[in-house]
Copies of this chain bind each other. A is one copy, B any other.
Amino acid sequence: MSSEPTRGKPVRLALLGCGTVGAEVVRLLHEQAGDLTARIGAPLELVGIAVRRPGRQRGDLPVDRALFTTDALGLIKRDDVDVVIEVVGGIEPARTWIVEALRAGKSVITANKALLAEDGGTLHDAAADGGADLYYEASVAGAIPLLRPLRESLHGDRITRVTGIVNGTTNYILSSMDTTGAGFTEALEEATELGYAEADPTADVEGFDAAAKAAILASLAFHSRVTAADVFREGMTGVTAGDVASAKEMGCTIKLLCLAERGPDSRGAESVSVRVHPAMIPRSHPLASVGDAFNAVFVEAEAAGQLMFYGRGAGGTPTASAVLGDVVAAARNRLAGTRAPSESVYAHLPIRPIGEAVTRYHISLDVADRQGVLATVAGVFAKHEVSIATVRQSGREADATLVIVTHGAPDSHLAATVAELEQLDIVRSIASVLRVEGGA
Residues of A whose CB lies within 8 Å of any CB of B are: 1-3, 24, 28, 32, 35-36, 38-39, 105, 131, 137, 143-145, 148-149, 152-158, 223, 286, 289, 301, 303-312, 315, 317-318, 320-329, 332, 336-339, 341-342, 344, 346-347
Find chain B residues with CB under 8 A from A315 CB. 305
Q: How far is the CA of A38 from the CA of B345 in the complex (A)?
A: 9
- Cβ of A101 to closest chain B Cβ, rounded Å: 15
Find chain B residues with CB under 8 A from A328 CB. 152, 155-156
Find chain B residues with CB under 8 A from A145 CB. 148-149, 153-154, 307
Interface pair A153/B35, CB less than 8 Å apart = no
- Cβ of A342 to closest chain B Cβ, rounded Å: 8
Known: A131-B1, A149-B149, A158-B32. A144 touches B317 (CB 8 A): no
Interface pair B338/A3, CB less than 8 Å apart = yes
- Cβ of A111 to closest chain B Cβ, rounded Å: 13
Interface pair B301/A321, CB less than 8 Å apart = yes
Interface pair B148/A149, CB less than 8 Å apart = yes
- Cβ of A383 to closest chain B Cβ, rounded Å: 41
Interface pair B310/A305, CB less than 8 Å apart = no
Interface pair B318/A304, CB less than 8 Å apart = yes
Known: A156-B326, A303-B321. 15 other contacts (CB 8 A): A1-B339, A2-B2, A2-B337, A35-B223, A35-B347, A143-B301, A143-B305, A145-B149, A148-B152, A289-B289, A303-B318, A305-B317, A307-B311, A336-B338, A338-B338
Find chain B residues with CB under 8 A from A39 CB. 155, 223, 344, 346
How many copies of this chain? 2
Q: How far is the CA of A148 from the CA of B155 in the complex (A)?
A: 13
3 nearest interchain CB pairs? A156-B324, A145-B153, A145-B149
> Can you list 18 A-B pairs, Cβ within 8 angstroms, ordered by A?
A1-B131, A1-B337, A2-B2, A3-B338, A36-B156, A39-B155, A144-B304, A144-B307, A145-B307, A153-B322, A156-B321, A156-B326, A157-B324, A303-B324, A304-B317, A305-B315, A306-B310, A332-B341
Find chain B residues with CB under 8 A from A156 CB. 28, 32, 36, 320-328
Pick the residue among B307, B317, B322 that contacts A310 (CB under 8 A).
Answer: B307
Interface pair A303/B24, CB less than 8 Å apart = yes
- Cβ of A102 to closest chain B Cβ, rounded Å: 12
Q: How far is the CA of A338 from the CA of B137 in the complex (A)?
A: 22
Q: How far is the CA of A322 from the CA of B301 in the complex (A)?
A: 11
- Cβ of A35 to closest chain B Cβ, rounded Å: 7
Measured CB to CB, the nearest residue on chain B to A149 is B145
Measured CB to CB, the nearest residue on chain B to A303 is B321
- Cβ of A69 to closest chain B Cβ, rounded Å: 24
Q: How far is the CA of A315 from the CA of B143 in the complex (A)?
A: 29
Q: How far is the CA of A312 from the CA of B38 in the complex (A)?
A: 33
Measured CB to CB, the nearest residue on chain B to A294 is B306
Q: How far is the CA of A156 from the CA of B317 in the complex (A)?
A: 11
Find chain B residues with CB under 8 A from A320 CB. 156, 303
Q: How far is the CA of A6 from the CA of B187 in the complex (A)?
A: 56
Find chain B residues with CB under 8 A from A323 CB. 156
Known: A105-B1, A304-B321. A329 touches B155 (CB 8 A): yes
Q: Give the interface centre of A131, A303, A344 by most chain B CB atoms within 10 Å.
A: A303
Measured CB to CB, the nearest residue on chain B to A329 is B152
Interface pair A155/B223, CB less than 8 Å apart = no
Find chain B residues with CB under 8 A from A155 CB. 39, 324-325, 328-329
Find chain B residues with CB under 8 A from A341 CB. 332
Interface pair A28/B312, CB less than 8 Å apart = no
